[in-house]
């Protein structure tokens, strides 16, 4: 089924596969848009990314990546308010793809009252209008996409904003990320037959199971991205977990609950110089292998950003393929739309 262009198009009506394939271009374009946002140059004491769902995951990736590159701390807020610590010397990035996310707008307003340095990332909507009215810089990104498909634009814009503040120098890692994603795409795109396509094969393996995506260090937020994409694109229950934390609680359930055989642990592997972590990963895989089938997906590239985004590309493809196997349109979101409608009525 996945090797038939006609059958794939019947389900992927809004071309989610095309969005996955163009993520390298989105990342480069997003970087340019962030650089052109107009944010005054200043060095913040901390960075706060405000966002929800597909707009927040870029912040989680930024938080983990920035920890390898800068001494300036970065946190992600997915709520209605920002931490008490946010103040005049904070850089607040309000990210909402639609521009109408009520939680993000609430955080934007609160950060304004605290007189923080704010920049918005949006395709338009209320957030863009409020930003323009308040004189807040806006990194405008293209509209018409599913928010989860805009990750390249969102993350790229965040990088451009941080570069303006002289927090990081990103060109080298962005170039390598584009190259690593290109390589992943060459393995996983629809024209590659299932027998040679790791994303298609993994989709078939996940079909009868509940996926649990496991990351560590820089792949922690990538595991969350995988789970979110499986939730939305494939319409399946999927979860993420991380090492070493899961070895202090979750592993007991894996080993003692007979339902474990219905779950598929998927480890996102990448370079780590920590010998203790290497030993822990191997031991955890070995133990889980006693109760269910264990899967591993390896990163491409050398730099932290390249490894993160190569894993993201593979996961995005696998989620779309699983949705198609389930006869679902990867671009729809009926449950989220229904909940928004209920909340608006109340």
Neighbours of 80 (CB within 10 A): 14
Catalytic residue among 129, 193, 278, 340: 340
CA neighbours closer than 13 Å in the CB half-sphere of residue 122: 28
Type and span of the H or E element at 154: helix 151-164
Residue 248 annotated in active site: yes
CB 236 within 8 A of CB 203: no
The closest alpha carbon to 239, from 212, 203, 206, 207, belongs to: 212
> Which is catalytic among the residues 6, 71, 248, 334?
248
Tokens of 265: 């642990």
Q: Which of 60, 103, 232, 235 is catalytic?
A: 232
User: Could you give the count of Cα atoms lying within 13 Å of 6 in the half-sphere of its Cβ?
Assistant: 0
Q: Is the bond preceding 154 in cis, omega lying within 30 degrees of 0?
A: no
Residue showing tokens 């060109």: 171
Residue 105's nearest CA partner among 52, 151, 58, 152 is 52
Q: Is position 129 annotated as part of the catalytic site?
A: no
Catalytic residues, by residue number, are 232, 248, 340
């Amino acid at each position: 089924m996945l090797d038939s262009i006609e059958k794939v198009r019947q389900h992927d009506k809004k071309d989610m596969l095309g969005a996955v394939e163009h993520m390298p271009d989105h990342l480069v374009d997003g970087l340019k848009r962030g650089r052109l946002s107009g944010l005054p140059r200043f060095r913040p004491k901390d960075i706060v990314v405000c966002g929800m769902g597909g707009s927040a995951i870029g912040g989680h990736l930024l938080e983990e990546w920035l920890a390898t590159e800068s001494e300036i701390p970065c946190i992600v807020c997915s709520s209605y308010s920002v931490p008490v610590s946010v103040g005049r010397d904070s850089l607040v990035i309000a990210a909402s793809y639609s521009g109408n996310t009520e939680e993000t707008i609430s955080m934007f307003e609160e950060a304004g009252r605290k007189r923080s340095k704010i920049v918005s990332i949006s395709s338009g909507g209320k957030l863009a209008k409020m930003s323009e009215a308040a004189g807040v810089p806006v990194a405008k990104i293209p509209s018409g996409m599913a928010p989860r498909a805009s990750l390249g634009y969102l993350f790229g814009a965040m990088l451009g904003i941080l570069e303006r503040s002289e927090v990081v120098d990103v060109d080298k890692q962005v170039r390598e990320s584009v190259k690593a994603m290109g390589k992943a795409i060459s393995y996983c795109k629809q024209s590659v037959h299932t027998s040679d396509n790791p994303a298609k094969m993994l989709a078939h393996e996940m079909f009868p199971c509940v996926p649990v995506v496991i990351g560590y260090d820089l792949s922690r937020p990538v595991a969350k991205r995988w789970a979110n994409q499986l939730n939305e694109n494939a319409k399946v229950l999927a979860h993420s977990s991380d090492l070493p934390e899961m070895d202090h609680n979750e592993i007991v359930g894996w080993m003692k609950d007979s339902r474990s055989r219905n779950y598929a642990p998927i480890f996102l592997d990448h370079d780590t110089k920590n010998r203790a972590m290497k030993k822990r990963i191997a031991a955890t895989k070995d133990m889980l292998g006693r109760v269910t089938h264990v899967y591993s997906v390896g990163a491409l590239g050398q730099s932290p950003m390249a490894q993160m985004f190569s894993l993201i590309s593979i996961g995005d493809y696998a989620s779309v393929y699983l949705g198609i196997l389930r006869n679902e349109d990867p671009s729809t979101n009926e449950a989220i739309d229904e909940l928004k409608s209920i909340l608006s009525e109340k």
